[in-house]
Amino acid sequence: MGTVNKTDLARELSELTGLTRQAATEAIEMLFAAVKTHAVAGDTVSIPGFGRFQVKARAARTGRNPMTGEPIQIPETRKLVFKPARPAT
């Protein structure tokens, strides 16, 4: 198993659809821009057979400074998570 990057995906999409590599690259970029836009807006983006993208919030909490042991306030954070679809059996 290796790493597949955007260039590899664009090349394969180009071969499968007959699009130019530039058009395939732009299509991939637009897809992920749309996913990001909806996720930031709080929507769950679900692609059947592939998976779903969702923004998860982690509540603010009290932590400790590892150097001094002093309590510190850690603010709420949000991150985009991906959950792959179950493989077809």
Q: Are the C-beta atoms of residues 14 and 24 closer than 8 Å to each other?
A: yes
Contact present, 40 and 47 (Cβ < 8 Å): no
pLDDT in tens, 21-40: 999 999 999 999 999 999 88
Residue 80 CB partners (closer than 8 Å, separation 6+) = 36, 39, 53, 54, 55
The pLDDT tens digits for 5-23 are 999 999 999 999 999 999 9
> Is residue 42 in a domain?
yes
CA dist 39 and 88 (Å) reads 26
- The fraction of the chain above a pLDDT of 70, given in percent, is 99
Number of domain units in the chain: 1
CATH number of the CATH domain containing 12:
4.10.520.10
Asked if residue 1 is part of any domain, the answer here is: no
Pairwise CA distance, residues 78 & 58, whole Å: 6
- The answer to whether position 79 is within a domain reads yes
Tell me, yes or no, whether 31 lies in a domain.
Answer: yes
Residue numbers of the domain that contains 19: 6-84
